[in-house]
Structure 1
Amino acid sequence: MDRPTRRLPSSVFAYEAGVLTLEGVSLAAIAEAVGTPFYVYSAGRLRERYRALATALAPFDVDIHFAAKANSNRAVLAVLAAEGAGADIVSGGELARALSSGIPAAKVVFSGVGKTEDEIAAALRAGIHQINAESYEELHLIDRIAGELGLVAEVALRINPDVDAETHAKITTGKKDNKFGIDADRLARLDNEVKGLANLKIVGLAMHIGSQILSAKPFLAAYGRIAELTRELRGRGFDIQRLDLGGGFGVPYENELEFSFDDLAAAIRTTVGDLGCRLSVEPGRSLVADAGVLVSRVTLVKDASPMQFAVLDAAMNDLVRPAMYDSHHDIVPVKEPVAGVQAVEYDVVGPICESSDTFAKRRKMPPVAAGDLVVLATAGAYGATMSSTYNSRALIPEVLVDAGRFAVVRRRVTIEEQMGWERLPDWAAAPALSGSRAAE
């Protein structure tokens, strides 16, 4: 008999009295209170993951800047801020979210290949830790803006080390043909480029080679390369004091082995640990992915023999990763399956008019029926933060659970509210011409 597995999203989830709970809170009770679909996050799991990384890196006194793009909800940021996390941001909006969530400006690093003048100015005015510059053109832009503000900007050069991260092509960032960073073999220009740039100080080097990396091997190669460049630039008179080692530490979505923070620490020890630099990392999904799930209700089960379609009220606008990356998310029923129940094979889909609105194909799982609640696991990273209102759908709630209590930390944004953001131009309401006059 083909029986479904009973793997749960992470250690903070458990079946209690036949219902899936998060930190002891019934997901069915939350669904009853806020409606479906919704995201829910565990504050306890966020702390657990942050502390695991901090403990592994403690011998090197590494600063941890959470990559806000993975999950920028202010409640999530506030939990991590209380643990001591800084933020790695890639937009002015993320800067505002980080500062309003209790992350000090002095713990903020600004990355990204296309920072605008307004964003750079806002970051400099706030007094952030450093800007990671990704091109020589950006160095000149930062220098000009800092001069206009009467400031000296502290800048790290983001280096593209041309290292294969061994990950999905759409989330690799450290190869020569990626848009990110300054090619390591173009640093010979640096001496001439910085002449006359009186309003910035190059304090370090930065790198980020990709996302969802499951082995320390690519980091070992990249960190070795940045160590070589640090020694080279110091030999040319540059005072390299800081190394931002990026992030990209992966998580198991299906059958992968969990990324080892201890292996990461070993890679740091053997490559950059003896340089005397202030070190930092930028974890994102490794802290939040398995702390969050998407809870959805089965709208109907469509019998298209031999196929069975489980149609959910969640859609690709809520969780776009499967459509964008063909990514896997475990799907777990909220009601505990009966022991020994025979699995049924489903295509699990959403209601949007796109064939790509599919969460799983040929997925073997316990039988479900209309009205049942299911969980799409490991959705705390790049879930709500990448959501949209496609098909004029609501932005769904986000909920935080902490020690047996829950709170809505983003309410549902309805279509009526969304239409309130829009305005018809005056001329659009003018009466149209009709009859013979219109034909002239």
Structure 2
Amino acid sequence: MSCLQYRGNQLYIEDVSLKNVADEFGTPCYIYSRSAIEANWHTFDEAFSGIPHRICYAVKANSNIAILHLLARLNSGFDIVSMGEIDRVIAAGGDPKKIVFSGVGKKRDEIEHAIEKKIYCFNIESEPELERLQEIAARMNAAIDVAIRINPNINPHTHSHITTGLNESKFGIDITDVIPLAQKISRSGSLRLVGIASHIGSQIVQLAPFLEVVDRLLDTYQQLLKIGITLRHINIGGGLGITYHDEHPPGIREYARALQDKLRPYNIEVIIEPGRAIVGNAGILLSRIEYLKHTQHKNFAIIDAGMNDLLRPALYDAWQNILPVELHNSEVKQYDIAGPVCESADFLGKNRDLALQSGDLLAIDSSGAYGFSMSSNYNSRCRPPEILVDGSNASLIRRRETIKDLFAAEIIADLAPCD
């Protein structure tokens, strides 16, 4: 559900007018609703209250430290995929003992850093990673907890770029290799197998793939019990979709109820790793129209936000609702909403019927997940600020970058004179 609502002819997020945000902070900018983020997290927590559970927010969805701090205050755990995300969580006040480290390419220094910070566990994604973990743990004289991430070869029926549980995916370990790998871990003096995990993709809008994953995990859990290997948790991953356009994903409570029915008899802690479902509908990208360009073939609204600010439409052909901040009686026309970046892929929406004037503000809805976290400085563009709204207050939680920021880390090489 969108965090936006019209009051009269003006668009608001909580009790703050988007026009006032633009006046104070400029455009483009990202704006998030505290109440929506916290409500989504609480809904997950309450929906799984019938079984032992731990919510580990997927940091990659939105890694702003103020957002992570909100979640840490709620006693959330965190799913991370890099050293930078570990340190973000800790800087935000998160408990490292509630961090799960996923990802297929963990570097040696990242592993060492995570061990030093005493994170909860590593999700192992390959046998070479297992060998690296074992070698580093032995050298550091540490006993570390690990879980095996299983690739169950299940199609989540989502975009191919965000599908992670098929045989051709780089993620996870083939389900047929899990038992031998678990036995290898059980013989290790440095590693403790505490769980099994699976995550098959993102923006999944059907229950069936989730239920199939849980069946595969429970079958593996029972096989491990039969050979004397007990576990502390089962990690069912994340991936629950949200509504961007005409999708009809299961609600959080419906999702939880269906999964709990399968998991409850086993009385084992369940880890859930939602990201998009917590922050996706809780944020927007606010932009201003620079030009209205009318041609014989197309009408374009050229805005000051581009694909470097919000990559999803260019990367996934993603559809996001685009709303005028102020309603007025201009003629409705069909527009492509395009950015200033020098790429034909630079669009935020196509074929949208809108009544627009040059200088109007537009809100790109449901941009709280994989928005700023995937932004870049392409075309040497400064990344936008981030704003957190709490009731009637709007607080800056990341300042707008400056031109100096763009090249502050760059060094002109000491070259020999030109001929």
Please say if 1:164 is aligned against 2:155: yes
- Aligned residue number for residue 252 of structure 2: 261
- For structure 1, which segment, 236-245 or 219-228, has the greater mean C-alpha deviation from structure 2 after superposition? 236-245
Please say if 1:351 is aligned against 2:337: no
RMSD, aligned α-carbons: 1.4
Contact 2:124 2:130 in 1 (8 A): yes
1:88-167 correspondence runs (5 A) = 88-167=79-158
2:368 to 380, 386, 390: 380
2:85 is paired with a residue of what secondary structure? Answer: helix
- Aligned residue number for residue 77 of structure 2: 86
Deviation of residue 353 (structure 1)? 1.0
Contact 2:186 2:193 in 1 (8 A): no
2:353 to 364, 367, 381: 364
Gaps (5+ residues) in structure 1?
1-8, 434-440
Contact 2:51 2:267 in 1 (8 A): no
1:426 is paired with a residue of what secondary structure? Answer: coil
Q: Which AA in structure 2 matches 1:104?
A: D
Contact 2:30 2:387 in 1 (8 A): yes
1:64 is paired with a residue of what secondary structure? Answer: strand
1:233-312 correspondence runs (5 A) = 233-312=224-303
Q: Deviations along 1:9-36, whole A, 9 cap, x unmatched?
A: 72x4222353211111111111111111
Contact 1:219 1:267 in 2 (8 A): no
1:200 to 191, 198, 201: 191
Contact 1:136 1:193 in 2 (8 A): no
Contact 1:224 1:272 in 2 (8 A): no
- Aligned residue number for residue 319 of structure 1: 310
Contact 1:320 1:386 in 2 (8 A): yes
Please say if 1:405 is aligned against 2:407: no
> Following the alignment from structure 2 to structure 1, what is the Cα–Cα distance between the partners of residues 291 and 315?
25
Q: Which AA in structure 2 matches 1:364?
A: D
- Aligned residue number for residue 40 of structure 1: 31
- For structure 1, which segment, 121-130 or 290-299, has the greater mean C-alpha deviation from structure 2 after superposition? 121-130
2:260 is paired with a residue of what secondary structure? Answer: helix
Deviation of residue 421 (structure 1)? 1.5
User: Normalized against structure 2, the TM-score is what?
Assistant: 0.97
> Following the alignment from structure 1 to structure 2, what is the Cα–Cα distance between the partners of residues 53 and 342?
43
Deviation of residue 336 (structure 1)? 2.5
Runs of 4+ in structure 1 off by over 4 angstroms are none
> Following the alignment from structure 1 to structure 2, what is the Cα–Cα distance between the partners of residues 315 and 404?
28
Contact 2:101 2:122 in 1 (8 A): yes
Q: Report which of the two structures shows the higher radius of gyration computed on alpha carbons.
A: 1
Deviation of residue 216 (structure 1)? 1.4
> Following the alignment from structure 2 to structure 1, what is the Cα–Cα distance between the partners of residues 34 and 256?
25
Contact 1:154 1:201 in 2 (8 A): yes
- Between the aligned residues of both structures, percent identity stands at 39
Please say if 1:432 is aligned against 2:418: yes
User: Normalized against structure 1, the TM-score is what?
Assistant: 0.92
- Cα–Cα, structure 1 residues 86 and 305, in superposed 2: closer, same or farther, change >3 Å? same
- Aligned residue number for residue 178 of structure 2: 187
> Following the alignment from structure 2 to structure 1, what is the Cα–Cα distance between the partners of residues 139 and 238?
33
Contact 1:303 1:309 in 2 (8 A): yes
Contact 1:120 1:142 in 2 (8 A): yes
Gaps (5+ residues) in structure 2?
none
Contact 2:282 2:368 in 1 (8 A): yes
- Aligned residue number for residue 205 of structure 2: 214
Q: Deviations along 1:155-208, whole A, 9 cap, x unmatched?
A: 000011111111111101111111111100122422663365211100110110
> Following the alignment from structure 1 to structure 2, what is the Cα–Cα distance between the partners of residues 286 and 195?
35
Deviation of residue 257 (structure 1)? 1.4
Please say if 1:176 is aligned against 2:167: yes
